Amino acid sequence: MRAVTWHGRADVRVDTVPDPVIQDPTDVIVEITSTGICGSDLHLIEVMAPFMTVGDVMGHEPMGIVREVGPEVTAVKPGDRVVVPFNISCGTCWMCSEGLFSQCETTQNREQGFGASLFGYTKLYGQVPGGQAEYLRVPFGNTLPIKVPASVPDDRFVYLSDVLPTAWQAVQYAGIPQGGSVLVLGLGPIGDMATRVAKHLGAGQVIASDVVPERLARARRNDVQVIESTDQAEVVARVRDLTDGRGPDAVIDAVGMEAHGSPVASALQKATAVVPDAIMEKVMQVAGIDRLAALNTAIEAVRRGGTISLSGVYGGATDPLPLMRMFDKQIQLRMGQANVWRWVPDILPLLTEGDAFGVDEFATHHVPLEEAPQAYMNFREKKDGHVKVLLQP
């Protein structure tokens, strides 16, 4: 089959790789019909490169048609249409029963000290072949795939794999009071979707910060108040003006480790391109190399007694935090990989009954799988209005 594979920093290719096969009696094989490029995928060709291996199949936002099932699979059958969550969870262990599917005890990567395995996402998370491919082996066929109706285009459901549950969890973790205010830092796919979810769940004032014109235009069309800056002082001053001088009830950081405005960390991240991977792998597990500009902006912007919700990915092991400032402001902080299946029962009806979040028009580009390398670069450089890309094998 054809698949998007990792070959180094800023180097993804479409190669011919072996077709996946049933390995366990509860496996299913899914023929992929749509699969997204995520902002987290860009980390793999940049900062997280030391944890990748040449030939790794990328991608963790797939959906498609079940083509083969293992002998113990009863929940789906060949021909069923399914979305595949990005985190690989058994659905039956204690963590899964608590709704912490991203901490699944069956697929935890204990040797690495990390949580549940993820499709297409580094040796830290199991080095499981990803979904930017023609076919995907999906374990836990009775509990992991999300069965969806067959009569609506892929765009309606594909974001159940990652974007929607990640944004939904970000808003839930933010604890925005009914009619309250929230600032979203970053209007990439997750930040954009978080503004939509926040409005749907009852936020009275949704504000967002970014500098990319196409992203700002999308937010304005959804009646989001935008701040055309990522400079900390400007964002903090502007958001206080909009919230009676005290700041928003909550801030969602949808930017993460590669925020602009952190020159020292930026230089360290660039150093990963010249230092051997074996060395950088050890460095990254004991040192902080995140750009913390977005998080620091969140800490300054949120009102006293407010909540910060992190959905942007951070990768540093010893990042410094201004704990005195956070303690003084009585800030609550929540974070983590989205627990996809925790939120599916809440989200799926909103997709089957209508288009509550504008997902039908959410993708800016639909691209054949063979054109994935250029699509990655366009998305990385934010060219030609690339906000959300869906690959189609």
Tens of pLDDT along 69-78? 999 999 999 9
Chain centroid offset of residue 119 CA: 12
Sign of CA dihedral 385, 391, 392, 393: positive
Q: For residues 182 and 315, state if they share a domain.
A: yes
Highest-confidence range of 248-262, 307-321, 375-389, by mean pLDDT?
Answer: 375-389
The pLDDT of residue 48 is 86
Examine the domain organization and report whether 158 and 179 are in the same domain.
no
Place of tokens 């994935």: 372
Classify burial at 109, counting beta carbons within 10 Å of its beta carbon; exposed 0-12, middle 13-18, buried 19 or more.
middle
Q: What is the mean pLDDT of the chain?
A: 92
Q: What is the dihedral of CA 295, 301, 304, 306, to 10 degrees?
A: -60
Do 72 and 98 have their domain in common?
yes
Q: Among 324, 327, 255, which Cα is nearest to 291's?
A: 255
Within 13 Å, how many C-alpha atoms sit on residue 210's CB side?
Answer: 29
- pLDDT for 359-390, tens place per residue? 999 999 999 999 999 999 999 999 999 999 99
CA distance 13 to 5: 5
In the structure, what pLDDT confidence band is assigned to residue 288 with cuts at 50, 70 and 90?
low
Task: Express as a percent the part of the chain with pLDDT over 90.
Answer: 84
Q: Is the pLDDT of residue 188 over 70?
A: yes
Q: Is the CB of residue 159 less than 8 Å from the CB of residue 170?
A: no
**Entry pTM:** 0.92
Whether residue 352 is predicted with pLDDT greater than 60 in this model: the reply is: yes
Would you place residue 5 in the very low, low, confident or very high pLDDT band (cuts 50, 70, 90)?
very high
- Start-to-end C-alpha separation, the chain: 10
Partnered with residue 334 across adjacent β-strands are: 309
- Residue 265: the pLDDT is 46
Going by C-beta distance under 8 Å and a sequence separation of 6 or more, which residues neighbour residue 219? 187, 192, 195, 208, 210, 226
Look at residue 299 and tell me whether its pLDDT is greater than 50. Answer: yes
The CATH code of the domain that includes 124 is 3.90.180.10
Q: Domain end: 335, 350, 381, which one?
A: 335
Same domain for 210 and 152, yes or no, is no
Q: Residue 289's pLDDT band (boundaries 50, 70, 90)?
A: low
* Range of weakest confidence among 42-51, 176-185, 266-275, 371-380: 266-275
Nearest to 358, CA basis, from 239, 224, 233: 224
Asked if 309 and 174 count as a contact pair (C-beta separation under 8 A), the reply is yes
Pair 248, 263 in one domain: yes
Q: Are residues 233 and 175 in the same domain?
A: yes
Domain check: are 207 and 327 in the same one?
A: yes
Looking at the structure, tell me whether residues 230 and 264 fall in a common domain: yes
pLDDT of residue 158: 98
Domain count, the chain: 2
Task: Give residue 195's domain range.
Answer: 164-335
